[in-house]
Homo-oligomer: A and B are copies of this chain.
Amino acid sequence: MENIIAVAQKTRRAALKLAVLSTEAKNQAIEAIAQALESAKDEILQANLADCETSIAEGIAEPLYKRLKLDEHKLRDAIAGVRDVGKLADPVGTVQIHREIDTGLILKRLTCPLGVLGIIFEARPEAAIQIVSLAIKSGNGVILKGGKEAVRSCETIVKAIKQGLSQTAVNPDAVQLLTTREEILQLLKLDKYVDLIIPRGSNSFVRFVQDNTRIPVLGHADGVCHLYIDKAADLEKAVAITVDAKTNYPAACNAIETLLVHANIAPKVLPQISEALQHLKVELRGDERTRQILPNILEATEQDWETEYNALILSIKIVDSLEEAIAHINEYGSKHTDGIVSEDEEAAQTFLALVNAAGVYHNCSTRFADGFRYGFGAEVGISTQQMPPRGPVGLEGLVTYKYQMSGNGQIAATYTGANAKAFTHRDLL
C-alpha cells in the first residue's frame, strides 16, 4: 500500500504541472507518444506475442484471446487514434460563465482537469494507448491497470510512452502502470489521490468497482436496452431497427435485450421479426401472449426482463399500451438507451419524455448510443447514472470546473446590512 501511495503522489505532482500546460504543449506530447510507439513497434508486437503464448498455454478463451492479440494493423490504428486525439478541441480552459458581480468584481467559471484518473481495463493492450492520449489531452495524470494476460504488452507500451514524454513538457511520471491484481483494491482506496475511476470490463467487474470505492466511477454495469414497437409503428422500420439493434453487435452495451410490442400490432409484426431474427440465429424468449403468436419459442421468465444477454438472445413481451411499455422500461431498464418505433408523433414525444434513460430514441437503432457516433470525437465511457455526465461521455467527462473571482479589494460587508450595495450580475460572455 505504501508503494502505491508513493506512485499516486508522484502522479499527482506531475499532473499538477500537466494541468496548466498550453494546448500546444499537450499536443506536442501526444505527437511524441505517437512517434515513440512507432519506434517501439517491433518491441511491442514481440511483447504481445509472449503474452499470447503464455495465455494459450494457460488455455485462454477465444474471445479474450482475440482482444489480447495485437497485430501490426491494430497497432497502426491505435497510433492513428493518438494523433486523432491530438486534433480534438482542448476541453480545458473553456469559459462557462463570465459575469460581473459588481464593478471590478469579476466571476469566471472555467473548465480544468480532474487531476488523476485511475483506469482499469481488461485484455486489450491498445486500450492503454487510447486512454493515455485522452488523459494527456485533458490535462490529467493517469494510473493504468491492464489485464494480467496483457502485462508484457502494457509494460512495453507504457515504457515507450514514457520515453516519448521524456522529451516533452509532460513529466513521464504523469503516466503510471500497475501490474498486479492486488493493486486494484489498493487503487480503489486512494480517494485522496485519484479523482475518477474508469473501469472497462464485464458487468460484474464494473459492479465490483462501484461497490468498493469512494472515488467517483464513470461507467455502467448493465446495458439492458429496450425497443418498443408501438401500435402505430411502420412495419418495415420496426423489423429493420429490431434486427439492427439486436444483431449489429450483440456484445455491445447499446444492443437491445428486450422487445416490447403493442398487442394491436403484434400479430402482424412478430412473425416477420421472428423470421428475420431466427434466420440470424437469434434465440427468442417470449411471455405467454408472445408465445401464442410464436408458439415455438422459449418462455421468458422474470429473470429475463433484467438480464443483459450480451449474446444473440432476445426476450419479447406484449403490452397493451404505451404507458405499460414505459412502466416496464422504467422498472427493468438500466437507464442506458431505450427506443420507440412509431409514426404517432404524440406517442413518440410521450415516450421520449417519460422514459428515464440516458438515451431515448425514436425510429432509429439504439446502436447509435456511442460517443463517436454522437460526434464527440472520443468516448471515455458510457454512464447510466442519473447525475451528469450521463450517456456516452467524451473528453468533457475528464474535466471539471472551478470558479475564479477577481476583485480589487471587495469585501462582503459592503453588500450586507442596512446600506447594502446591490450586485450588478451582468453577464460578460
* Interface residues, chain A, with chain B CB atoms under 8 Å away: 16, 19-20, 99, 101, 105, 107, 114-115, 195-196, 216, 234, 236-237, 240-241, 243-245, 248-249, 330, 348, 352-354, 356-365, 367-369, 373-375, 385-388, 390-392, 400-413, 415-416, 423, 425
Contact = CB atoms under 8 A, between A and B. Distances in A.
Contact of A101 (B357, B373, B407): B373
Contacts of A248: 411-413, 416
A189 to B, nearest CB: 14
Nearest to A350: B20
Main DSSP-derived SS at the A contact region: mixed
Contacts of A410: 363-365, 368
A370 B159 CA distance: 46
A101 B368 contact: yes
A412 B367 contact: yes
**7 nearest CB pairs, A to B:** A364-B407, A367-B412, A244-B411, A375-B425, A237-B409, A364-B410, A362-B406
Contact of A244 (B196, B357, B413): B413
Contacts of A354: 16, 19-20
Nearest to A210: B214
B101 A374 contact: yes
A367 B412 CA distance: 6
A20 B408 CA distance: 45
24 contacts: A16-B354, A19-B354, A101-B368, A105-B364, A195-B386, A196-B386, A216-B387, A236-B409, A240-B409, A248-B412, A356-B402, A359-B403, A360-B405, A362-B404, A362-B405, A362-B406, A363-B406, A363-B407, A363-B408, A364-B408, A368-B412, A369-B405, A388-B401, A390-B400
A392 B388 CA distance: 17
Please state the number of chain copies in the assembly.
Answer: 2
B356 A115 contact: yes
A278 B249 CA distance: 71
A360 B244 CA distance: 50
B241 A411 contact: yes
Nearest to A341: B409
B415 A400 contact: no
Contacts of A407: 361-364
A402 B360 contact: yes
Contacts of A391: 402-403
A65 to B, nearest CB: 23
Contacts of A241: 409, 411
Contacts of A244: 411-413
Contacts of A423: 373, 375
A105 B374 CA distance: 11
A360 B404 contact: yes
Nearest to A252: B412
A368 B401 CA distance: 17
Contacts of A19: 353-354
Nearest to A415: B373
